[in-house]
Structure 1
Amino acid sequence: NIGIDVGMFDNKLTITADAFKIIRTGFPGKKYDVLLPSEVGYELPNENLGKNGYYGAEGTITYSSKVGDLNYAVSGNVTFSRFKNLESYKPRFSNSLNEYRNSAEDRWGGVWWGYQVIGRFQSEEEIRNYPVNNDGNNNRNQLPGDLIYKDVNGDGIINEMDERPIGYPTGWAPMITFGGRIGLNYKGIDLNVDFAGGGMQSWNQDYELRNAFHGGGNSPAYLLEDRWHREDPYDRNSKWIPGYYPAIRNGNSGPNGRNSDFWLTNVRYLRVRNLELAYTLPQTISQKIKAQKIRFYVNGSNLISFDNVKDYQIDPEIEAAAAVVYPQQRVFMAGFNVTF
């Protein structure tokens, strides 16, 4: 770890910055090449075999001063941290593709793999004439509006050999987090606002949010309304009406269900984590009841979020692919403190 602390302008401006590397050795693992007969009745325990680390940097900057009766302080902070697997016990792979796809040796952790979408089928004629086997069934399962995947290796068929890293970790904390605070005080009135945000984290849209009527259940309106569909659902010869999402298959998404950058969102957000407005009575009033301080306040938490996932009607800090968890609650409070 290496850091620096700076104070300027009579310490009105302070800056703290650190760069860090955390190496953990002896991470638990098993020796797969040491076998016991099943008659023994137990397995070998984990041993201290692995090695991994976290690399990153963080910094905070604060400025505080006063103008007349107004005291104020503004601060911001940012942290970047990334996980890396350094060593594991005798990794083995069946071929070079398996090593490229699944090896964790000396690699950054949490990379999301999937297909790259390069377009949409616009007509049945385009599907019939498309030279690449996009669905693994010579395109017999394709409909207008379906996703077209990039044939990365140029072999004329879309399969796992065309998957590439397309996003950041899903289900992990953001690699980059940031926040800030604004504090104001004027003649007993004080206002404090706390911000928090994150980035370099991916959310994979799946289940009810990818497959209409998944598991016999329902789906959000946007998945059903903004989709490719026939002008007349009872006439298979009627023209196709374009939409954002592919045409509905009952309970599944057909060839569109593969993990791809169409369903992946690299989440970015900044939210007002907490806001509090308060008033402290003058001591001439509080002393009448033998109190040192009387303070009234109103407080709100999770008031608003500025993010890029509002179209999906989810909380940006939710990790679940189907968003089937309760979002963070917006909470309002009011009260007072009396100090004797």
Structure 2
Amino acid sequence: MTDYKTLIDAETWAFIEKTNSYYPPDTIDYTIEEQRAVYDRMCREFFAGYPQGVTAETTAAAAPTNSISIRIYRNAAPNNAATVLYLHGGGFILGGLDSHDDVCAELCARTGFDVVSLDYRLAPEHLHPAAFDDAMDAFEWAAETYDCAIVLCGDSAGGNLCAAVSHATRGHKKKPIGQVLIYPSLGGDHSRGSYVTHAEAPMLTARDLDFYKHIRTGGVDRTGDITLYPLADADFANLPPTVLITAECDPLSSDGEAYRDRVVAAGGHATWFEEPGLVHGYLRARHMVGRARTSFTRIVEAVSVLGRGDWIW
């Protein structure tokens, strides 16, 4: 049994307890509508506002098959070297433009880059590959709209979508210049590593992961589908430089290590940081937990470096 009392510090426990007070561990047993209401309320409670100099515009981007909602964050002192396409977490069933609103605003403030956040379609109303298709459409839109490099950044489910887009756009005339994947779900081996060691971790469990996968796929076995499980790809060559940042106390942590290893083995640039003592969803803790604050600075630096077309790791 993993001893979380020694791995997790007091600040992080306070964050976990605050989260659980709004979003109880048994929330996956609620209806989808109830889960969304609980999640949205929790996100509002953690909302930190916009940094000075950042503005946001909610609009629609024309896609080949539908119109997708986006929110564009701009800095009063812009850095035009790159634009960030941000894909939010939420297990593919939760979240939207508001759930990660302040995260995107702070990323814009600290990098200077425009940040485009996507309101992709959610399951179960829209099963896979709906979210992936929206992410691809958003990338195509950003690549055509912005005369600069595109950096992909996303957390959890959003990290999965970023990686899937990176694999699908390797032949694109303007493929992503880099990707920053924050505690991503990439389809790793559930019988080993963190999937076993941290199967009962605070904030995210193996049971939760099985639930989200079932909802996203409608229960259909999609083994080998790289748009769903990027780690299932047989080819990891020519992917954009990748920074993976995971939480130690998270069943998904091993996905970061496995993805790093495969990119490097294929001759690419990838680095993996496992944040000691942190838990899934710690982005919301960046203003109350020292370790999360440090990790968010690492994320900002990674986006900035990749946006400049550099590699320092």
Q: TM-score by structure 2 length? A: 0.23
Higher percent of residues as helix: 2
Q: TM-score by structure 1 length? A: 0.22
Higher percent of residues as strand: 1
